[in-house]
Structure 1
């Protein structure tokens, strides 16, 4: 009964936490996407101003399809903003644009955690694709060796998720500094802008916790198999 209760708690966290984080992000974004920022600048203009203020004239800004599909591409040195944020004058547009530019600044300064995360991408992708297959094969074949191999692959994914946290929080911190120093937002907007950035960070926290729980589950399976 106790083990069943523990499984239910584990399953609830695994299922509910990501959904809650996504819901929180959507609610916060929807609210602040309706509030204009005081400078009346579009997300694209905010990004350009911050980039230019930091001497990153070679970094391009592009519009990309989708909702909250905003990202920075270090390969092409391009900040890509979703349509609403590219053209929008909202607090959400300014905050998200500044956050993505934060990644561009990290890239220009060779921020250690960003470099480490980039280095982890190939092995994390491999681990994401292979870990469950290997672990499932190990369980079916009752092979602790295969399960251990799958755990090692999965560990790379977990490490990637953990390294992502300081990268994202640092980008948000840089975003706030730049929004203030460039005059994009005023004092009465600080709190609301932080809400947008903090909500977005929740998705990465949820992803890291979920990945850790999954890894722990299979570690316990491996330990239990070796105890038999």
Structure 2
């Protein structure tokens, strides 16, 4: 068996590709738009992150600037919220939303939010799966080795699970962010609505990634012949 020059299963990926393109365009345009709108309280992303962390008793979590655009993240290993320079120093609605979102992950970590910790346990196998799944599948098909084919599919399944678990983690962090920004009066109601557009656009990228992973898994099952086949 071999992969044909034209793989008809590629058609399955079209919805995921279109959504991914739309999501990426949407998040960039939305962030660009609201990065030009300053918050009325004129506080920076770094100041908001630090204030929320201190209010939640997370004085042990540091806030640092990091290079790159939209490179913001929370590192649970080192307990550090890292904000891109644009977010760290800016007082825009986009910056405050992103900063509060990353703090939301720190709060999840502190409160033992189960999906976050489950996702963390999947990281090692997900890294292996994303690297080896397709090579194993290809080698298995070329060598007519079903155990390698199955190993490739199973490893990629872990990638799909990781992407699916990521959805509640990200949605929850955004909800926490909006609630805190409003309750602590960093933003008024009108500003909250605009900031929500930024976080919703960012969330769409995770939906697109999950859809692409799921469609790719269906492709692998079809290519391997595992879909719809029952063992005797």
Deviations 1:162-206 (Å, cap 9, x if unpaired)? 111100000001001110111110011121111011000111110
Deviations 1:74-108 (Å, cap 9, x if unpaired)? 11111000001000010000000000000000011
Would you say 1:148 and 2:179 are equivalent positions? no
Distance 1:157 1:224, change over 3 A: closer
Aligned to 2:27: 25
Aligned to 1:100: 102
In 1, the alpha carbon distance for the partners of 2:113 and 2:188 equals 28
Instruction: Report the CA distance between 1:10 and its aligned residue.
Output: 1.9
In 2, the alpha carbon distance for the partners of 1:151 and 1:7 equals 15
For residues 55-74 of structure 1, what are the structure 2 equivalents within 5 Å? 55-74=57-76
Would you say 1:50 and 2:77 are equivalent positions? no
| Structure 1 counterpart SS, 2:57 | coil
Deviations 1:31-75 (Å, cap 9, x if unpaired)? 000000121110000101111111111110000000000000111
RMSD: 1.8
Aligned to 2:192: 190
Would you say 1:12 and 2:14 are equivalent positions? yes
In 2, the alpha carbon distance for the partners of 1:127 and 1:117 equals 14
Q: Any unmatched runs of 5+ in structure 2?
A: 1-5
Distance 1:7 1:119, change over 3 A: closer
Instruction: Report the CA distance between 1:140 and its aligned residue.
Output: 1.8
Aligned to 1:121: 123
For residues 155-194 of structure 1, what are the structure 2 equivalents within 5 Å? 155-194=157-196
Equivalent residues, number: 224
Give the TM-score of the pair, scaled to structure 2. Answer: 0.91
Give the TM-score of the pair, scaled to structure 1. Answer: 0.93
Aligned to 2:224: 222
Instruction: Report the CA distance between 1:18 and its aligned residue.
Output: 1.6
- The answer as to whether partners of 1:107 and 1:114 remain within 8 angstroms in 2 is yes
In 1, the alpha carbon distance for the partners of 2:174 and 2:80 equals 18
Q: Any unmatched runs of 5+ in structure 1?
A: none
Greater shift, 8-17 or 70-79, is seen at 8-17
